[in-house]
């Protein structure tokens, strides 16, 4: 579908909203006329009041004359003077695409790239253009793959997609606003009716009468009917506009392949989903690791550490690149499945263009470290920026684990407190075990219905894994509280605990402390519990002065 036909479709969809609104307003006016013609008394005025209330959200939606402007979101704008190499690439790809380069480049913290335009007269006249470029893409992509990303985004410019978005966005926002107002009024009416019924019920109870059940199922019914009408049109609107958007993505991929080459574009399309998954994992497991301890990574490493993770987990990334997710196409998704996009590009004839610029795209920045630090200031909240800074990732890990262990409250903590009526300390637990009451304590653990119904040995087997996890946490917390615990940091595998020194136990002379700990835990949770090995591992309790 050409740009002209897409513009016509967007205009028809928008006019359909106004037509639907006019029809509903005419219906409300018709109800009022009929009521005043054949009706009489207070009912007529009440009906007129209701129709006015129903008409207000419709009129408000129709009178939204300006297309809402999207917010830039957190990020930093970079000038051509500050980043000449990045701007040179941006302008070069724009010239190759045959379109006007963006007026602004904004770096963000997301695994995403996008373009926007602020056209005038609903897209009839061009306006300022912006390019949004996620720094995680610069970290994870090569320069050739970034060139393909830019070619794809400029494909939206050459296809007129950004200029037509004003019409599409305006319709979506107007319909959504009307639906939201009707739901708000329906919810307000239900809340008012509920309060009224609850007060009436309280009065009946005070008089010794039986209270009626509160029922608001019919409250705000007319508002919900009006919302349902607009919701059905919204579904039609979204299906029509988003099907066009999916076609635009395919067309933009073709532009990227023409500019950057087939192989670089296919590699880019395979790389971005892998980067997206990896970045989510990185944020959860590394970048925000120290937040519970009010500690941040070293300056610039909140985003910069992502590159270290990618280097260390290259094999996992290769699997993600190869095994693309087979998504089911959704009528309400603006992007087609990534696997289908890759198949279409890789089916193109070979163009003889190998991936030319294989260096990291981050090297295009004049001073990557400075940019990464500035992005932290723009993206993170003031509260988080006030946290301390770790000197390195190992310190961040140790501080985070110490904070987590000190605040840990396992199911065993709660069960022990309920059973003994005392603070749930490790010492109290070991005394309970030595008194032969471990399995009575285990009966207070929250277990599955199947486990709770079991008896004897079967019940112990269900309870043992819960006990072991909780007991291990309590022991590690004890070591951590004495500053005798450390964690081995790694980019390629989960953190591993490191206990102090070597230990001579039943596990053998010179046994590794970690192995000795696991053996001691097994002994405590055996059918005939024995706390001796675990007590031998624990540091002596501090003596009062």
For 187-201, what is each residue's pLDDT tens digit? 888 888 888 888 888
Given this model, what pLDDT does residue 461 score?
Answer: 87
Given this model, what pLDDT does residue 351 score?
Answer: 82
Q: Within a domain: residue 488?
A: yes
pLDDT of 2 higher than 80: no
pLDDT-derived band of residue 509, with 50, 70 and 90 as boundaries? Answer: very low
Given this model, what pLDDT does residue 248 score?
Answer: 79
Q: Within a domain: residue 162?
A: no
When pLDDT is averaged across residues 245-263 and rounded to a whole number, the result is: 86
Which residues have C-beta within 8 Å of that of residue 237, sequence separation ≥ 6? 13, 16, 17, 171, 172, 175
Most confident of 19-23, 210-214, 401-405, 512-516: 401-405
pLDDT-derived band of residue 325, with 50, 70 and 90 as boundaries? Answer: confident
Q: Within a domain: residue 100?
A: no
Count of residues in the chain? 545
Taking the C-alpha atoms of residue 87 and residue 94, their distance in angstroms, rounded to an integer, is: 11
Taking the C-alpha atoms of residue 6 and residue 165, their distance in angstroms, rounded to an integer, is: 10
Question: Tens digits of per-residue pLDDT, 7-30?
Answer: 566 667 777 777 888 888 888 888
Bridge partners (DSSP) of residue 107 are 76, 133
**Pairing mode of beta strands 486-488, 496-498:** antiparallel
pLDDT-derived band of residue 129, with 50, 70 and 90 as boundaries? Answer: confident
Q: Which two tokens stand for residue 173?
A: 């926002």
> What sign results for the dihedral spanned by CA atoms 439, 441, 445, 449?
positive
Given this model, what pLDDT does residue 279 score?
Answer: 96
- Token look-up 């926002």 returns 173
pLDDT of 310 higher than 90: yes
Given this model, what pLDDT does residue 362 score?
Answer: 95
The helix-helix angle for 411-420 and 456-481 (nearest 10°) equals 100
Taking the C-alpha atoms of residue 85 and residue 475, their distance in angstroms, rounded to an integer, is: 55
Q: Within a domain: residue 477?
A: yes
What's the Rg (C-alpha) of the chain? 32
pLDDT of 544 higher than 90: no
Q: Which two tokens stand for residue 518?
A: 């696991």
When pLDDT is averaged across residues 420-440 and rounded to a whole number, the result is: 91
pLDDT averaged over the chain? 83
pLDDT-derived band of residue 51, with 50, 70 and 90 as boundaries? Answer: confident
Q: Which of 63, 87, 117 is the last residue of a domain?
A: 63
Question: Tens digits of per-residue pLDDT, 442-457?
Answer: 888 888 888 778 888 8
Taking the C-alpha atoms of residue 530 and residue 497, their distance in angstroms, rounded to an integer, is: 24
- Token look-up 């059905």 returns 232
pLDDT-derived band of residue 507, with 50, 70 and 90 as boundaries? Answer: very low
pLDDT of 156 higher than 90: no
> What is the Cα 375 distance to its own chain's centre?
19
pLDDT of 62 higher than 80: no
When pLDDT is averaged across residues 121-146 and rounded to a whole number, the result is: 85
When pLDDT is averaged across residues 460-474 and rounded to a whole number, the result is: 89
In total, how many domains does the chain have? 2
Q: Which of 11, 37, 63 is the last residue of a domain?
A: 63
pLDDT of 75 higher than 70: yes
pTM over 0.85: no
Given this model, what pLDDT does residue 481 score?
Answer: 86
pLDDT-derived band of residue 86, with 50, 70 and 90 as boundaries? Answer: very high
Bridge partners (DSSP) of residue 125 are 120
Question: Tens digits of per-residue pLDDT, 164-190?
Answer: 555 566 667 777 788 888 888 888 888
**Could you give phi then psi for residue 10, rounded to 5 degrees?**
-60, -40
Q: Which of 11, 39, 63 is the last residue of a domain?
A: 63
pLDDT of 506 higher than 50: no
Given this model, what pLDDT does residue 163 score?
Answer: 52
Which residues have C-beta within 8 Å of that of residue 139, sequence separation ≥ 6? 303, 304, 306, 307, 310, 360, 361, 362
Given this model, what pLDDT does residue 437 score?
Answer: 92
Q: Within a domain: residue 40?
A: yes
Contact assessment for residue 104 and residue 131, using Cβ atoms and an 8 Å cutoff: yes
Q: Within a domain: residue 213?
A: no
Question: Tens digits of per-residue pLDDT, 283-307?
Answer: 999 999 999 999 999 999 999 999 9
| 3-state SS, residue 116 | strand
pLDDT-derived band of residue 434, with 50, 70 and 90 as boundaries? Answer: very high
Q: What is the full DSSP assignment across 463-506?
A: HHHHHHHHHHHHHHHHHHHTT--EEE--SSS--EEE-SS-EEET
- For 473, the domain range is 408-501+512-537
Given this model, what pLDDT does residue 26 score?
Answer: 86
Q: How many C-beta atoms surround the C-beta of residue 236 within 10 A?
A: 12
When pLDDT is averaged across residues 268-290 and rounded to a whole number, the result is: 95
Q: Tell me which residue of 107, 76, 105 sits closest to 90, measured CA to CA.
A: 105
Q: How many C-beta atoms surround the C-beta of residue 406 within 10 A?
A: 12
When pLDDT is averaged across residues 458-477 and rounded to a whole number, the result is: 89
Bridge partners (DSSP) of residue 115 are 131
Q: What percent of the chain has pLDDT over 70?
A: 84
Given this model, what pLDDT does residue 508 score?
Answer: 45
Long-range contacts of 526-535 (CB under 8 A, 24+ apart): 527/457, 527/460, 529/433, 529/436, 529/438, 531/430, 531/433, 531/434, 533/505, 533/506, 533/507, 534/430, 534/475, 535/430
Given this model, what pLDDT does residue 190 score?
Answer: 86
When pLDDT is averaged across residues 57-81 and rounded to a whole number, the result is: 74
Q: What is the full DSSP assignment across 285-311?
A: IIITTTGGGTEEPSTTHHHHHHHHHHH
Mark 4-33 as b/e (b = at least 16 C-beta within 10 Å): eebbebbeebbebbeebbeebbeebeeebe
Given this model, what pLDDT does residue 165 score?
Answer: 57
Q: Within a domain: residue 517?
A: yes
pLDDT of 204 higher than 70: yes
Lowest-confidence pick of 174-188, 281-295, 412-426, 457-471: 174-188
Question: Tens digits of per-residue pLDDT, 383-393?
Answer: 999 999 999 99
Given this model, what pLDDT does residue 167 score?
Answer: 59
> What sign results for the dihedral spanned by CA atoms 411, 413, 416, 422?
negative
Q: Within a domain: residue 303?
A: no
Question: Tens digits of per-residue pLDDT, 350-377?
Answer: 887 776 677 899 999 999 999 999 999 9
CA 159-138-302 angle, 5° bins = 130
Given this model, what pLDDT does residue 542 score?
Answer: 60
């Amino acid at each position: 579908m050409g740009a002209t036909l897409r513009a016509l479709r967007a205009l028809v969809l928008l006019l359909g909203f106004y037509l639907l609104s006019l029809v509903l307003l005419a219906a409300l006016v018709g109800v009022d006329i009929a009521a005043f013609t054949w009706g009489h008394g207070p009912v007529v005025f009440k009906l007129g009041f209701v129709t006015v209330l129903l008409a207000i959200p419709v009129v408000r939606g129709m009178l939204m004359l300006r297309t809402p402007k999207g917010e830039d979101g957190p990020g930093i704008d970079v000038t051509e003077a500050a980043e000449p190499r990045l701007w040179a690439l941006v302008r070069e790809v724009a010239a190759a695409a045959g379109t006007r380069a963006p007026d602004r480049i904004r770096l963000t913290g997301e695994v995403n790239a996008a373009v926007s335009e602020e056209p005038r007269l609903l897209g009839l006249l061009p306006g300022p253009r912006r390019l949004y470029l996620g720094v995680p893409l610069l970290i994870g992509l090569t320069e050739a793959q970034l060139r393909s990303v830019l070619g794809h985004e400029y494909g939206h410019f050459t296809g007129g997609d950004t200029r037509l978005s004003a019409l599409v966005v305006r319709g979506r926002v107007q319909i959504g606003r009307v639906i939201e107002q009707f739901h708000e009024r329906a919810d307000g009416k239900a809340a008012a009716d509920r309060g009224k019924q609850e007060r009436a019920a309280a009065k009946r109870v005070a008089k010794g009468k039986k209270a009626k059940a509160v029922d608001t199922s019919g409250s705000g019914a007319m508002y919900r009917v009006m919302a349902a009408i607009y919701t059905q049109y919204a579904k039609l609107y979204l299906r029509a506009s988003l099907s066009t958007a999916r076609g635009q993505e395919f067309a933009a991929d073709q532009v990227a392949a023409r500019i950057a080459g087939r192989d670089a574009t296919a590699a880019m399309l395979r790389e971005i989903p892998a980067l997206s998954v990896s970045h989510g994992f990185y944020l959860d497991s590394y970048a925000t690791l120290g937040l519970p301890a009010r500690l941040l990574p070293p300056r610039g490493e909140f985003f910069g550490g992502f590159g270290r993770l990618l280097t260390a987990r290259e094999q996992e990334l290769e699997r993600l690149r190869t095994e693309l997710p087979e998504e089911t196409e959704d009528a309400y998704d603006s992007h087609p499945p990534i696997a289908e996009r890759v198949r279409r590009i890789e089916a193109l004839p070979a163009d003889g263009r190998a991936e030319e610029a294989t260096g990291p795209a981050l090297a295009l920045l004049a001073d990557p470290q400075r940019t990464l630090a500035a992005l932290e200031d723009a993206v993170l909240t003031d509260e988080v920026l006030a946290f301390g800074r770790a000197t390195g990732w190992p310190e961040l890990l140790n501080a985070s684990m110490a904070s987590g262990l000190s605040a840990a409250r396992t199911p065993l903590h709660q069960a022990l407190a309920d059973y003994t009526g005392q603070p749930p300390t490790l010492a109290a637990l070991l005394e309970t075990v030595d008194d032969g009451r471990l399995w009575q304590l285990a009966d207070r653990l929250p277990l599955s219905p199947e486990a709770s119904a079991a008896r004897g040995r079967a019940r112990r087997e269900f309870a043992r894994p819960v006990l072991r996890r909780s007991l291990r946490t309590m022991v590690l917390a004890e070591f951590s509280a004495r500053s005798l615990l450390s964690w081995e940091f790694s980019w390629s595998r989960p953190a591993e605990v490191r206990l102090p020194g070597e230990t001579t136990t039943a596990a053998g002379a010179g046994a590794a402390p970690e192995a000795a700990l696991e053996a001691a835990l097994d002994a405590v949770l055996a059918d005939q519990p024995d706390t001796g090995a675990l007590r031998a591992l624990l540091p002596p309790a501090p003596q009062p002065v």
